[in-house]
Amino acid sequence: MSDIPLLSLGVTIRVEKPSGAPLAGVEVRAIWDFANPYDDIPDEHRVETDEAGLATIPIADPKDWGRKESCDATVTVFKRHHGPVVFGNAEFKNGEARVRIRHFLQRAVPVEVLNSPETQAEQVKWGRLTYVHEEGLVVPASEGTQERKISSVLHIVLVEGGTLGVDHSQPLPPPPAGVKVGYHYHAAPVLTRRLSSENFPSAVRNKLSQVDEELIYHIAHGDLALTEDTDFIFEHHHAPDEPHDAPCNERCRAVPAGYELSAGAENEPSEEFVQLKPGQGAGGNALDQAAGPFAPKVAVRNSTFGGLRAVLIGDVSGPVSSTRWPMGMVSMKELNPRNVVGVVRLAKQLSQQGVRLLLTVGFERSGGKDAHGRGRAIDVSGVSLRHPPSFEAGSKRAETDPHRIVRSQNVDLLESRDFLVILHWGNPDLKFEDPNGVQHVTRAADITAVGRNTQYRNDYDPGTQSRPQLLYRLEPAPVRSHQGVWKHSTDHYTLAGRFFRLVTEFLMREYSCRDRSLGPITELPPDDRRQAEEDDLAPVPAIGSVQGFVIHPDYPKPNQAGSTDGRQRHFDHIHGNLGHNGPAKSGASAGQYSPANPQGYER
Amino acid sequence: MRHRAFDLHLLTVDGVSVDDSPAFTVRQNDEVISTGVATLGVAQFTVLPRSSDDIYVSWGPADGQSRFSRRVSLRCVGRGDSRRTIEERLWSLGYFFEAEDDGSYVRALERFQADYDLGDEAISPERVPDAVVEQLSKIFNENLEHIRPAKDDESEPDSEPAPELTENCCDVDFTESDDEEATE
């Protein structure tokens, strides 16, 4: 008896959701570009993915390739109610994903993807085709099989229910003549704070909220991936005779994984998404009692969204003369879904301007009772036009691969690439205009001391109208003598001013500045509604002219002794949040949570 | 003279034994010489005495919707260590190279040498290290359950100690100060 070990030649593919969850039962078809001479070997290979989302497409022996060094194939994957990620503003459709691949005879990385979807090449997008070689993907053991390691995998992403997604940041197209306009129709963009959200419905939900619709839209367009545990769960109700690639219909439903889906069940969030229910906090104190409903949270996969990565920057409150700053992964595991919509909208605008890193000192504090603790806030500490420096030695594909983990590292500051609020907004000299219209410049150091209690004019407060008016110190770009410690080119400060303006104005327009109510304006109590309508329709206030929940280095209010809501505590970041920061100090007032007035808090 | 009997150990694309039992077909000179089920990935068949022509093997699920296939030279079995035998063994294991291209042949040998951790002795078309020749022979003449050695995960060392990073959100204490209440 003679033994001959014989290696199967094939390409292993893994079909998965943007969350990384495997998709089983996906139909995979592959046709190689050369004819097969034998009747029992089909020209078209058909396989189905297993429970791990894996399937292997056979390749004919290279001896039959006709002395070519490579062979090409067309691979299609299909699962009902699913479709491939689309980029930009393209319409998402259910249907098959089609991939052209080239398999090389001798290369160390044997497969090349030929038709990677077109995106802005530098942006970090989910759902792009990725071929991973020698990464050691571990396939867990299942019944009858042992744990195994896969050396090379082509990842293909399919999105479930993507046709349910709606981009509410854009006006919806007019409905066809004669079609009745539904609840969600809007001819103008919907601000993030105005999106409908149903966190604690009393009955099974029959209609997606606008927050959920937009989350699904961003997932379907490669701008977001939730983690497997917090992703949406879908129920589809298609008639048997409907085409297999028919879009989801009005009977199809989707809910975040935090809710029970089964009909008739109370839609309580599952325990794992509830950090602190009312009355269940430390000691069940009054603060918790006043907190009201606690929205289930979602987690952003790998802190990558909207074409960029969010990274944590370390101790930038140290010496501002430091040229190095630490950077690493930031947690985005317990965010309010509305906040996720907001940060994706912001990131999309920034990444279109070339931003690759959103620098932050963190989104959340686990168990905290303020907006950060409840996942409804964002702190922007800066932006960078580069991918993480540790990725720069890799290929362009590696730099833009959203699966890559940002490892903690010290980063050298680069002019015209890195823009930090602490260095490039909080540090240059502050500008203000006195009531006589004369502009003054003062050293920024003077405002960082708690003792400097200058209250500048706040357009929302009639009592401050006679005060000096703070101006946005970065426009025009400060000359060198007013740049503080960091002497940069005018171009650097011009760019810094542009990026920080984009972030600050976005937060004032979309998040809660003065108006703290959340949800559609038609659902607000009269007092909240008047305020909300006024702020929704008003132009974005000038930076430095108003107080609210968007706080930054040119915020009119100083920190009172012991307080943390003034400009001294925000000379290194821009703070924004959705809804009230925390429970009411004493009872429920307009805009704060009470069972009769649920707007403005956990929505 | 007896027929020659063979065991074909079918391996996955990752080089480990197939753990199910696919249907297989063996052809020689365009004639089907054997069909059956490769129990636990082992296909057994015989060929005529003195037959040394290539065989063509295909395997896959019984419904035939997807079939792997390989062309195999029977020269790869036995104790020989001629270049032809080494080439056929490499090819069978998936170490491909361009025919009649010495450089390509050497690179395939070097990949095999590295994968099996067989030292770094220089390789030329005329001089293949004994360790490489012996390992190839061993694979084809001993029943090795797992053919390709598993490698430990490798990670790049940090060039400098990673900084400690902790989330340090702004400790915003919005206690609804009087002036803010007045704005509502």
Give, in degrees to the nearest 5, the angle at Cα A460 between A455 and A462: 75
Pick B180's closest partner by Cβ from A151, A326, A547.
Answer: A547
Q: Are A5 and B9 an interchain contact pair (Cβ–Cβ within 8 Å)?
A: yes
pLDDT attached to residue A393 = 63
Half-sphere exposure (CA, 13 Å, Cβ side) for A457?
18
Amino acid at A401: D
With CA atoms as reference, the chain A residue closest to B155 would be A135
Is the CB of residue A398 less than 8 Å from the CB of residue A122?
no
Rg (CA), chain B: 28
Any idea where the domains of chain B sit in the sequence? 1-72, 78-144
Domain boundaries, chain A: 10-160, 305-427+485-577
Phi, psi of A417 (to 5 degrees): -125, -40
Residue type, A502: L
Residue appearing with tokens 């839209």 = A217
Tell me the shortest Cα–Cα distance from B157 to chain A, in angstroms: 11
Neighbours of B9 (CB within 10 A): 22
What is the rounded CA–CA span in Å between residue B135 and residue B137? 5
> Which residues face B31 on adjacent strands?
B28
pLDDT of A143 reads 62
The pLDDT assigned to A165 comes to 93
Q: Does A406 touch chain B if contact means CB atoms closer than 8 Å?
A: no
Nearest residue on chain A to B145, alpha-carbon basis? A5
Which alpha helices (DSSP H) does A250-352 contain, by range? 286-289, 337-352
Q: Which residues of A touch B69 (CB under 8 A)?
A: 36, 38, 41, 58, 60-61
pLDDT at A286 over 80: no
| pLDDT of residue A262 exceeding 60 | no
Instruction: Please state which architecture CATH assigns to domain A10-160.
Output: Sandwich (2.60)
Q: Please tell me the distance from the alpha carbon of residue B86 to that of residue B137, in angstroms, as a whole number.
A: 9
Nearest-angstrom CA–CA distance, A518 and A197:
9
Return the closest-CA partner of residue B112 out of B126, B133, B98, B143. B133
Phi, psi angle pair for B23, to nearest 5°: -80, 145
Q: Which residue has the tokens 């132009």?
A: A539
- Go through chain B and tell me how many residues it has: 184
Q: Is residue A185 very low, low, confident or very high in pLDDT (cuts 50, 70, 90)?
A: low
Question: Which pair of tokens denotes residue A84?
Answer: 């491939």
Residue A136, phi-psi category: left (phi > 0), alpha (psi -120 to 50), beta (remainder): left
Closest CA to A368 of A358, A376, A379, A360: A376
Q: In angstroms, what separates the C-alpha of A563 from chain B's closest C-alpha? A: 6
Of B64, B108, B174, the CB nearest to A581: B174
Six token digits for residue B71: 């062309």
Are the CB atoms for B57 and B25 separated by under 8 Å?
A: yes
Return the bridge partners of A55, or none.
A13
Q: How confident is the model at residue A254 (pLDDT cuts 50, 70, 90)?
A: confident
N-to-C CA span, chain A: 72
Q: CA of A505 to nearest chain B CA: how many angstroms apart?
A: 20
Q: What pLDDT score was predicted for residue A459? A: 95
DSSP H/E element including A58:
strand A54-58
pLDDT at residue number A492 = 96
Choose, out of B69, B91, B140, B156, the residue to mutate when testing the contact with A (most A CBs < 10 Å). B69
Q: Kindly list the residues from chain A whose CB atom is less than 8 angstroms away from the CB atom of residue B177.
A: 560, 563, 565
pLDDT at residue A279, rounded to an integer: 38
Residue with tokens 């920057």: A313
**Can you tell me the mean pLDDT for A261-277?**
38
Listed range (A140-144, A326-330, A504-508, A573-577) with the worst mean pLDDT:
A140-144
Does A460 contact chain B (CB < 8 Å)?
yes
| pLDDT score recorded for residue A153 | 86
Taking the Cβ of residue A579 and every Cβ of chain B, the question of whether any pair is shorter than 8 Å is answered with no
**Maximum average pLDDT range among A175-179, A348-352, A367-371, B157-161:** A348-352
The residue-averaged pLDDT of A386-397 equals 77
Our CA-based measurement puts residue B131 at a distance from the nearest CA of chain A, in whole angstroms, of: 19
Higher pLDDT, A363 or A220: A220
> Ranked by mean pLDDT, which of A129-143, A314-328, A511-525, A529-543 comes out on top?
A529-543
Average pLDDT value for residue range A148-177: 84
Does the beta-carbon distance from B184 to A591 stay under 8 Å? yes
- The pLDDT score that the predictor gives to residue A224 is 98
Partner-chain contact B167 A365, CB within 8 Å: yes
* pLDDT of the residue at A394: 63
Question: A582: which chain B residues are within 8 Å (Cβ-Cβ)?
Answer: 174-175
Spatial distance between the Cα atoms of A584 and A409, rounded to a whole number of angstroms: 40
pLDDT tier for residue A41 given thresholds of 50, 70 and 90: confident
Choose among A588, A520, A510, A519: nearest CA to A549.
A510
Q: Which amino acid is at B62?
A: A
Q: pTM of the entire structure?
A: 0.85
Q: Can you name the residues that pair with A310 across neighbouring β-strands?
A: A358
Does A6 contact B19 at a Cβ distance shorter than 8 Å?
no
Beta bridge partners of A11: A57
Is A58 close to B70, i.e. CB distance below 8 A?
A: no
- Using CA atoms, how far residue A601 sits from A202, A210, A291, A329, A584, in Å, is 18, 17, 8, 28, 10
Q: What are phi and psi of A30, to 5 degrees?
A: -140, 135
Q: A341: pLDDT confidence band, cut at 50, 70 and 90? A: very high
Provide the chain A residues 348-367 that lie in CB contact (below 8 A) with chain B. 361-365
Nearest CA to A168 out of A371, A351, A338, A376 is that of: A338
The arithmetic mean of pLDDT across residues A273-288, rounded, is 38
Enter the CATH code of domain B1-72.
2.60.40.3110
The listed range with the strongest mean pLDDT (A289-298, A322-331, A335-344, A384-393) is A335-344
For the ranges A106-120, A573-587, B61-75, which has the lowest average pLDDT? Answer: A573-587
DSSP label of A34: S
pLDDT at A378 over 80: yes
A68-77, A204-213, A551-560: the lowest-pLDDT one: A204-213
Where in B48-143 does DSSP place strands (E)?
A: 55-60, 68-72
A251-265, A342-356, A381-395, A449-463: least confidently modelled range? A251-265
The Cα–Cα gap between A101 and A71 comes to 8
Q: At what angle do helices B83-93 and B130-141 cross, to 10 degrees?
A: 60
Q: Label residue A8 by pLDDT band (50, 70, 90).
A: confident
| CA-based nearest distance A163→chain B, Å | 32
Whether A78 has a pLDDT exceeding 60, the answer reads yes
Q: Would you say A215 and A168 are in contact if contact means Cβ atoms under 8 Å apart? A: no
How far apart CA B92 and CA B96 sit, in angstroms, is 9
Do A514 and A529 meet the contact criterion of CB atoms below 8 Å apart? no
> Any idea what the Cα angle at residue A531 is, between residues A528 and A535, rounded to 5°?
135
Tokens (6 digits) for A340: 């996720």
Q: What is the pLDDT of residue A564?
A: 75
A98: pLDDT strictly greater than 80: yes
Cβ atoms of B72 and B54 closer than 8 Å: yes
Find which of A1, A7, A64 to mutate to test the B interface (most B CBs within 10 Å of its CB): A7
> A130: which 2 tokens?
């990725």
Residue that is written with structure tokens 């649920």 in the block = A598
Asked if the C-beta of A5 comes within 8 angstroms of chain B's C-beta atoms, the answer is yes
A105 in contact with B, Cβ within 8 Å: yes
Task: Give dist(CA A537, CA A534) in Å, integer.
Answer: 6
Q: Which residues of B touch A412 (CB under 8 A)?
A: none
Decide if A379 contacts A573 (C-beta within 8 A): yes
Tokens for A422, please give them: 């602490």
Residue A127, amino acid: G
Of chain A, the percentage scoring pLDDT greater than 70 comes to 78
Q: Which of A4-13, A357-366, A504-513 has the lowest mean pLDDT?
A: A357-366
CB-CB: which of B11, B13, B18 is closest to A12? B13
Q: Which of A413-422, A563-572, B53-62 has the highest mean pLDDT?
A: A413-422
Of B67, B93, B107, the CB nearest to A7: B93
pLDDT band of A501, cuts 50, 70, 90: very high
- Asked whether A374 and A581 are in contact (CB, 8 A), the reply is no
Show the tokens assigned to A222.
């490669």
The CA distance from A560 to the nearest CA of chain B, in Å, is 10
What is the predicted pLDDT for the residue at A201? 42
The pLDDT, as a whole number, for residue A320 is 53
Segment A35-47 shows an average pLDDT of 78
In whole angstroms, how large is the CA radius of gyration of chain A? Answer: 27
Mean pLDDT of A349-376: 83
**How many CA atoms lie less than 13 Å away from A432 in the CB half-sphere?**
22
> Would you give per-residue pLDDT tens digits along chain B (184 residues)?
677 888 888 988 888 888 788 999 999 988 899 999 999 889 999 988 877 788 999 998 877 677 888 888 888 887 778 898 999 899 888 888 888 889 989 999 998 999 888 999 999 999 999 999 999 988 887 766 555 665 554 444 444 555 556 655 444 444 333 333 222 2
Instruction: Spell out the residues 6+ positions from residue B9 whose beta carbon is closer than 8 angstroms to its own.
Output: A3, A4, A5, A6, B17, B41, B42, B143, B144, B147
What are the chain A neighbours of B13 within 8 Å (beta carbons)?
7-12, 56, 152
Please tell me which of the candidates B158, B163, B175 has its beta carbon nearest to residue A326.
Answer: B163
Distance between CA B153 and CA A149 in Å, rounded? Answer: 11
Please answer yes or no on whether B14 and A312 come within 8 Å at the CB atom.
Answer: no
* A561 touching chain B per CB within 8 A: no
pLDDT single digits (tens) A191-228: 999 998 865 443 444 578 889 999 999 999 999 999 99
User: Which of A99-108, A343-352, A588-597, B73-82 is the least confident region?
Assistant: A588-597
Concatenated DSSP letters of A117-171: PP--TTSB-TT--EEEEEEEEEEPPBTTB--EEEEEEEEEEEEETGGG---TTSP
More reliable by pLDDT, A106 or A117: A106
pLDDT, position A287: 37
Q: Which of A424, A426, A392 is nearest to A406 (CA)?
A: A392
Mean pLDDT of chain A, nearest integer? 81
Whether A601 and chain B come into contact, CB under 8 Å, resolves to no
- Would you state the pLDDT for residue A538? 93
CA distances from A9 to A59, A542, B28 (A): 5, 64, 20
Probe site for chain A from B51, B170, B176, B180 (most A CB atoms < 10 A): B170
Sheet holding B55-60, edge to edge: B31-37, B23-28, B55-60, B68-72
- CB burial of A208-241 (b: ≥16 within 10 Å; e: otherwise) equals bbbbbbbbbbbbbbbbbbbbbebbbebeeebeee
**Highest-scoring range by mean pLDDT, A109-118, A227-236, A302-311, B5-14:** A302-311
Query: Is A563 touching B (CB cutoff 8 A)?
Result: yes
Instruction: Calculate how close chain A gets to B128, using CA atoms only, in Å.
Output: 20
Q: Do A41 and B67 touch (CB under 8 A)?
A: yes
